[in-house]
Amino acid sequence: MRLDRYGQLKPVVSEARGFSELCPFSPDASDEDAIARERFGSARHYDPLIGRFEAAYVGYVREGRYRAEGSSGGMASWTAVELLDRKLVDAVAHVVPGSGDGTALFRYQVSRTVEGVRNGAKSRYYPVELSGVVEEMRRRPGRYAVVGIPCFIKALHLLCAQDPVLRDRLAFTLGLFCGHMKSARFVESFAWQMDTPMDAVTGVDFRLKNASRPANWYTAELRLKDGNTRAKDWWHLVDGDWGAGFFQNSACNFCDDVVAETADISFGDAWVEPYASDGRGTNVVVVRSLVLQELIARAVGEGRLDLKEVDSAFVVETQAAGFRQRREGLAFRLGWPRVSIRLNKRVAPRWRGLSVRRMLVYWLRSMISAGSHRVFWLARRLRLPAVYIRWASAMLSLYQGVTYSRGWIGRFIDRICR
Ligand SMILES: Cc1cc2nc3c(=O)[nH]c(=O)nc-3n(C[C@H](O)[C@H](O)[C@H](O)COP(=O)(O)OP(=O)(O)OC[C@H]3O[C@@H](n4cnc5c(N)ncnc54)[C@H](O)[C@@H]3O)c2cc1C
């Protein structure tokens, strides 16, 4: 995998044997339903949006500093540490800050100690890839847990179907809910907007925690080589509206898995009140493995976790925007004329029933995603950040006018739609 000119990781060897059954977006690969049926065939619950599962929860880690150090309620790191502590795995593959040498800001690491796992806490909206992890799993025997977004977890299961050694060694998959993945230019854009040269940046915290502010008021913090930091709230950044889709990978336009349906357990943010307003962070957790279900139930009984059982409707509500984009929005996008591959999704192409305004929202989001890569590339070539920032600012006003009726564009669209 190599970064392309837009700062997105792309495979350089796409003719490798079995590739078309391996790529999670390939029409030749098994879909999430088929993988989950094989892995969790006797799960207690099924929901068309959440998939098969044993139990779902909302809450956070009570013990230690997992919650304070995590992006959300700290459950992902806690679970990974618990697996190591109880010797259910020998190693955890997850994403940690890069070496600070000016190359990638984040990378996958195979951690074999509790400290190693804990140092990797927090969400990274930054391109990463699994080749080193797969190599280490093949080379060094043991039981591994891997943390990843839905398409990564699906790809691992597809790989395991081809590779008995990996199948034997992959003991647990820990999924992160996912809205979409960003390109490496997302951070560069932050740097431009914080008047900081990118080569002065050694690290980034996409979601600086502040217990006294709502959890969904994101603040990004850049760490600089000279020891200083720069921070800005996402809503003061031209590309900080997650829903507008700036720098989104194009593959994410064709994903229908929000909650990592093929993972043994998955973690997201509880984006409903009162949890969304609690700056300390609150997870939603979907458990599919019986071993993990027992582990969690015991820890709740011991008072180490503060989790309340919820139903699938609650989990869906916490990800309402993600599901709209990946069901209704996906059905709309699948209906667009396409000359290349015929995709094989769990959603059928459909335009009917959508209001013109809703179609406009989905169309704008796609245009912003595609446009942001290209306009940023041009601005970078010209060394003129303003080219991108002005374009992004105009697109943001358009998007927010159409979507949230904001500003004069919103009033105008409201009048037409009435
Ligand atoms: C690209 C992306 C998009 C997301 N979109 C949504 C969303 O739409 N809705 C939602 O509710 N939640 C989303 N999440 C998940 C959310 O941000 C939290 O990661 C999740 O709630 C777990 O929080 P935590 O406090 O339990 O995890 P923590 O205790 O902070 O641990 C996070 C773990 O995930 C690993 N990790 C971080 N980034 C990555 C990555 N890119 N790939 C693989 N592993 C990683 C870390 O190394 C660490 O082990 C997204 C995460 C990512 C990375």
pLDDT of residue 417: 84
Give distance in angstroms: CA of 175 to centre of ligand 1.
Answer: 8
pLDDT of residue 14: 63
Q: What is the pLDDT of residues 275-291, one digit of tens each?
A: 999 999 999 999 999 99
Portion of the chain with pLDDT greater than 90, in percent: 92
Q: What is the mean pLDDT of the chain?
A: 95
Write out residues with Cβ below 6 Å of ligand 1.
70-77, 80, 94-96, 120-125, 128, 147-149, 176-179, 181, 267-269, 281, 283, 319, 322
d(Cα 81, Cα 261) in Å, to the nearest integer?
A: 22
Does the structure show a pLDDT above 70 at 339? no
Torsion of CA 125, 333, 358, 256, to 10 degrees: -50
Phi–psi pair at 173, nearest 5 degrees: -120, 130
d(Cα 358, Cα 365) in Å, to the nearest integer?
A: 11
- Residue with CA nearest ligand 1 atom 44: 148
Q: For a pocket test of ligand 1, which of 123, 146, 255, 285 has the largest count of ligand atoms closer than 8 A to its C-beta?
A: 123
Give distance in angstroms: CA of 241 to centre of ligand 1.
Answer: 18
Smallest Cα–Cα separation from 6: which of 334, 246, 203, 206?
Answer: 246
Q: What is the pLDDT of residues 8-37, one digit of tens each?
A: 999 887 677 788 899 999 999 999 999 999
Phi–psi pair at 329, nearest 5 degrees: -65, -40
Could you tell me the domains of the chain?
2-181+256-322 (3.40.640), 185-244 (no CATH), 323-417 (no CATH)
- Residue with CA nearest ligand 1 atom 41: 124
- pLDDT band, residue 254 (cuts 50/70/90): very high
pLDDT of residue 185: 98
Q: What is the pLDDT of residues 159-209, one digit of tens each?
A: 999 999 999 999 999 999 999 999 999 999 999 999 999 999 999 999 999
Phi–psi pair at 163, nearest 5 degrees: -130, 100
Does the structure show a pLDDT above 80 at 307? yes
Under 8 Å between Cβ of 174 and 95: no
Portion of the chain with pLDDT greater than 70, in percent: 99
- Residue with CA nearest ligand 1 atom 2: 178
Q: Which residue has the tokens 């309620």?
A: 73
d(Cα 66, Cα 72) in Å, to the nearest integer?
A: 9
Q: Which atom of ligand 1 is nearest to the CA of 182?
A: 1
Rg over CA atoms, the chain: 21
